[in-house]
Structure 1
């Protein structure tokens, strides 16, 4: 689950997103100031929009940390608006520091590398197309389930026949200010450790 708020850009609406869906295949149900968004085919909840959000929350940032306290506050707002849903939320960070343990060339693509990346609690395989990725780097990893600032959801994938579980990110992909325009992942300094949350 990721939570966004941008009053200047979209108005006084708190956006709660679990995953992306096809806008033509969704159902929207209104409960007071809340719109519940569901996939028509799977009946899976994709997210919620809470309108007049500043009446319910103290909001001063675009991307909001999801904490147990925030989950309780959201559920309370649900109940005040006649919605009886509860939130089952994975509170583990979706953007973390990774350490590239190994890098090998992709067998089917000259410009891709197959990396083994320590993300703290596990080592994952990530196929990366950045020219500057290398063994021994600390990098930023968007784990499976992360929602990028662009709105893209990170999923398990197969790139040219090789499984990939996450994405090694550039500064531009992370939406960082003054990000360089040239292609390349964001290489961090040595004062970080694998698995450490990275604020996005």
Structure 2
């Protein structure tokens, strides 16, 4: 679930995205809440208007909002009052440390690789990666579906050259780190980092600056 504001373009509005937009969205508006659905009628998000009526809007950041249970409960109350049936749920972190268990050449590309990445205890995902330095055995930062990247890119399941990909293995630049090198490549974190833990930008940037994290 991606929660965000755009205070310049859409004041007093909170945007919640629960799935990818395939370009044929439909909208149902009730009582200052708009349900956004795809062409098949599946929920892909909500837009909440006049949110200062029930939230301290001025304290919300401009951009991504990291929700807590209190915020989710308030949004679900508005969803219910508007007459919609779904409930939003507070999910696990989507930007986490992962371990590259396998790394094989893509069958239809001379530069892509198909990886299997452990992202939590017993949870593995297939991710297609184009970084030149990707390799088996690395600890990396993984953006799982439902991640909003610093540049505004949304991460959802997809495919690259006909191979399914469930997330993205990130570079320091994609993560918006101040000391990110300019050359291409995913960021490799120390082996001591625990698989499944949430990405810590300040810690990683300090390690980059000191040379303890490499491409």
Same fold (TM over 0.5): yes
Greater Cα offset, 13-22 or 86-95: 86-95
| Whole-angstrom distance in 1 between the partners of 2:116 and 2:44 | 31
| Whole-angstrom distance in 2 between the partners of 1:175 and 1:53 | 29
1:32-181 correspondence to structure 2 within 5 Å = 32-39=31-38, 41-58=39-56, 59-61=59-61, 62-80=63-81, 82-89=82-89, 91-121=91-121, 122-149=123-150, 150-157=152-159, 159-177=160-178, 179-181=180-182
1:148 and 1:154 in contact (8 A); partners too: no
Note the C-alpha offset of 1:29.
2.5
| Whole-angstrom distance in 1 between the partners of 2:11 and 2:200 | 24
Q: Secondary structure, in 3 states, of the residue corresponding to 1:119?
A: strand
Q: Which has the higher contact order (CA 8 A, sep 6+)?
A: 1
Paired residues, number: 196
Q: Cα deviation per residue 1:154-177 (whole Å; 9 max; x = unaligned)?
A: 2142x3344433211123333445
| Whole-angstrom distance in 1 between the partners of 2:20 and 2:172 | 23
Greater Cα offset, 30-39 or 177-186: 177-186
Change (3 A) 1:38 1:177: farther
| Whole-angstrom distance in 1 between the partners of 2:129 and 2:169 | 7
Note the C-alpha offset of 1:6.
3.3
C-alpha RMSD of the superposition: 2.7
Change (3 A) 1:163 1:77: closer
Change (3 A) 1:55 1:88: closer
Note the C-alpha offset of 1:55.
3.2
